[in-house]
Amino acid sequence: MKLTRASTYALHAIVHMAALKENPIVASHHVAQARGIPERFLLKVLKPLVAARVLHSVKGPNGGYRLARPATQITMLEIVEAVDGPIRGQVPPLTGNGDRVDRMFEEVCNQAADKVRKQLQKVRISDLANA
């Protein structure tokens, strides 16, 4: 499995926030600076995390972001799928007519995707923040 740059940035940002005690509101530029992430890209990555209710966005001069739930209740899978969409096995059909081999390839890839999803579901953000 290969994580996208967007999901990697999202994971780093969430882990950074989780490592801070008492779940403070953190400005995006502080996260960007601490993790070496371009702030404009970080803002694009944080938006789907707010939509997925992983983060709360706080407006105003003292605004920023904070975790919507305890880090023990947020999984790596949630972050990756919020940013990149569902993990699933995709194989473009070669023949286009539902060939048996195409169906077999798709089934194997779906099984592999299920295993990846289960593994990412096991990893809590709190585990990463405390590492």
Both tokens assigned to 101: 């081999």
Angstrom distance (rounded) from CA 100 to CA 45? 39
- Residue whose tokens read 């919507």: 68
pLDDT tens-place string over residues 44-70: 999 999 999 999 999 988 899 999 999
Global confidence as pTM:
0.88
pLDDT classification of 39: cutoffs 50, 70, 90: very high
- For residues 109, 111, 115, 121, the Cα torsion angle rounded to the nearest 10 degrees is 90
- Percent of the chain's residues with pLDDT above 70: 95
User: What residues does each domain of the chain span?
Assistant: 5-84+124-129
What CATH class has 5-84+124-129?
mainly alpha
CB atoms within 10 A of CB 53: 12
Angstrom distance (rounded) from CA 42 to CA 39? 5
pLDDT tens-place string over residues 8-34: 999 999 999 999 988 899 999 999 999
pLDDT classification of 106: cutoffs 50, 70, 90: confident
